[in-house]
């Protein structure tokens, strides 16, 4: 008997495994394209797992991941990265706002695969694809997903074709090509890249990414909740992340909900999702909701930004199709969306370099800027533990690294 199954979020239909899910073109018979994984495993085992010291990768939590055979695992040591205490941020909060808080930073730039938050998803995808005989895959991406999947799928022997928007960082294109995978730079924005990927999927019968609601992505990223328990002994009060699509918040809610029966004291952290002012459709949608007192249907009202002009190419999603899914989760958590100025990102990143010796990538700088903005907006309170989920290092953004050094 399989340790997991998938359940349609719309009609409740049970799909026995990923083999069946893939055979149905990643959709339920009712037409719904979203399913969640459920497990027969005993979550009491998690109490033992969070006591493990120095695990090799996030497959420590294999009982709660949707695959069966360890021989199919594709890993570069991802998912058990350090959560560091950045005291200079605590000093800033105390000295400038009179707020005593603990600030922890989730160092995704140290992930084993490509140094991004996407590595766990790429690893699990490669594992599940290998287990189910998938030979080809395609995706539209603004950068991090493309790079991570290109490396992991190459190791799994899976042909991978990536469609990226015209604004994508050239370093990202070169990284994808370095893994022997195929990259198509589209003459348009991310929305256009998604259309090109969809056409490729239809014309060639190649399996396509299910996007931010992909159960593989969600299941991989939910393990950050387990890591919070393992490394911190608790889930933070406040969770800050830069957002483009929004798998992180979806996964965070899934992880917390999954373990609530065994860890009843674990609560959903207050989510603060951050976008830069050059591409901020989710922030605008949220502000509209607040201004209209969350009028019925508020989650379906958001702007679309055509061809956003931003240096943060991996956060260039101008059409925030996931807002109706992500925004209600943020509201449920008591959180908010915040806007930061792109012009100040290099300065924030330089401060991190001076205090911690770290070169953060532009999306991580957006996230870190969100911490300062949250203080300014009164969104962080005395006694709280704040977790800043950095997305990537500056390794694939030489231009931004130069901006940091010149800031």
Residue 332 lies in domain = 83-112+216-406
Reported as a single tens digit per residue, the pLDDT across 209-260 is 999 999 999 999 999 999 999 999 999 999 999 999 999 999 999 999 999 9
CB 306 within 8 A of CB 354: no
Chain-centre distance of CA 308, in angstroms? 20
Considering just the CA atoms, what is the radius of gyration of the chain in Å?
20
pLDDT of 290: 98
Reported as a single tens digit per residue, the pLDDT across 193-211 is 999 999 999 999 999 999 9
In a domain, 39, yes or no: no
Token pair listed for 241? 């992340």
Q: Give dist(CA 293, CA 135) in Å, integer.
A: 48
Give the pLDDT band of residue 1 (cuts 50, 70, 90): low
Q: What one-character-per-residue DSSP string does 346-358 give?
A: HHHHHHHHHHH--
With a CB cutoff of 8 Å and minimum separation 6, the contacts of 242 are 273, 274, 275, 315, 363, 364, 366, 367, 370, 391
pLDDT of 385: 98
For residue 45, give the DSSP letter.
G
The tally of CA atoms less than 13 A away on the side-chain side of residue 125 is 31
pLDDT at 407 over 80: no
In a domain, 75, yes or no: no
Is 117 strand, coil or helix?
Answer: coil
In a domain, 239, yes or no: yes
Q: Give dist(CA 275, CA 236) in Å, integer.
A: 21
Give the pLDDT band of residue 69 (cuts 50, 70, 90): very high
- Mean pLDDT, residues 312-327: 94
Is 360 strand, coil or helix?
Answer: strand
Percent of the chain scoring above 90 in pLDDT: 90
Of 22-31, 140-149, 258-267, the range with the lowest mean pLDDT is 140-149
pLDDT of 238: 98
Query: What are the DSSP E strand ranges found in 293-357?
Result: 336-340
pLDDT of 298: 98
CB 149 within 8 A of CB 161: no
Specify the pairing of strand 159-164 against strand 136-140. Answer: parallel
Q: Quick one: which of 275, 270, 214 has its CA closest to 243? A: 275
Give the pLDDT band of residue 289 (cuts 50, 70, 90): very high
- Mean pLDDT, residues 342-356: 97
pLDDT at 373 over 90: yes
In a domain, 15, yes or no: no
In a domain, 26, yes or no: no
In a domain, 36, yes or no: no
In a domain, 2, yes or no: no
Reported as a single tens digit per residue, the pLDDT across 157-181 is 999 999 999 888 888 889 899 999 9
pLDDT at 355 over 80: yes
Q: What is the CATH number of the domain that holds 320?
A: 3.40.50.1100
pLDDT at 144 over 90: no
Q: Give dist(CA 369, CA 235) in Å, integer.
A: 22
Q: Give dist(CA 333, CA 311) in Å, integer.
A: 30
In a domain, 133, yes or no: no
Q: How many domains is the chain partitioned into structurally?
A: 1
């Amino acid at each position: 008997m399989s340790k997991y199954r998938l359940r349609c979020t719309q009609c409740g239909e049970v799909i026995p495994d990923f083999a069946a899910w893939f055979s149905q073109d990643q959709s339920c018979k009712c037409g719904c394209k979203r399913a969640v994984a459920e497990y027969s495993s005993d979550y009491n085992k998690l109490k033992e797992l969070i006591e493990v010291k120095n695990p090799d990768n996030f497959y420590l939590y294999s009982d709660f991941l949707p695959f069966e055979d360890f021989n199919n695992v594709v890993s570069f040591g991802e998912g058990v990265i350090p959560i560091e205490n950045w005291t200079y941020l605590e000093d800033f909060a105390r000295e400038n706002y009179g707020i005593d808080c603990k600030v922890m930073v989730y160092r995704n730039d140290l992930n084993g695969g490509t140094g991004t938050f996407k590595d766990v998803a790429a690893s699990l995808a490669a594992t599940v694809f290998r287990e189910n005989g998938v030979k080809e895959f395609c995706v539209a991406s603004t950068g991090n997903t493309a790079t991570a999947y290109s490396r992991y799928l190459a190791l799994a022997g899976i042909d991978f074709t990536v469609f990226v928007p015209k604004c994508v960082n050239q370093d990202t294109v070169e990284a994808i090509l370095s893994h022997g995978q195929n990259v198509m730079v589209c003459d348009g924005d991310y929305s256009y890249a998604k259309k090109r990927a969809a056409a490729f999927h239809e014309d060639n019968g190649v399996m396509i990414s299910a996007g931010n609601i992909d159960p593989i992505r969600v299941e991989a990223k939910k393990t950050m909740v387990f890591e919070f328990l393992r490394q911190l002994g608790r889930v933070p009060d406040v969770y800050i992340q830069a957002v483009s699509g929004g798998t992180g918040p979806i996964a965070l809610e899934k992880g917390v909900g999954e373990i609530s029966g065994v860890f009843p004291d674990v609560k959903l952290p207050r989510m603060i999702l951050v976008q830069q002012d050059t591409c901020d459709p989710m922030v605008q949608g949220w502000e509209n909701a607040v201004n209209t007192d969350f009028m019925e249907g508020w989650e379906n009202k958001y702007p679309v930004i055509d061809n956003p002009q931003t240096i943060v190419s991996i956060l260039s999603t101008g059409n925030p199709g996931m807002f109706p899914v992500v925004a209600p989760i943020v509201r449920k958590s008591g959180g908010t969306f915040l806007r930061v100025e792109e012009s100040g990102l290099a300065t924030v990143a330089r401060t991190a370099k001076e205090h911690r010796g770290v070169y953060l990538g532009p999306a991580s700088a957006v996230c870190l800027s969100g911490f300062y903005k949250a203080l300014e907006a009164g969104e962080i309170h005395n006694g709280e533990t704040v977790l800043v989920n950095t997305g990537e290092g500056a390794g694939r953004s030489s231009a931004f690294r130069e901006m940091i050094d010149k800031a």
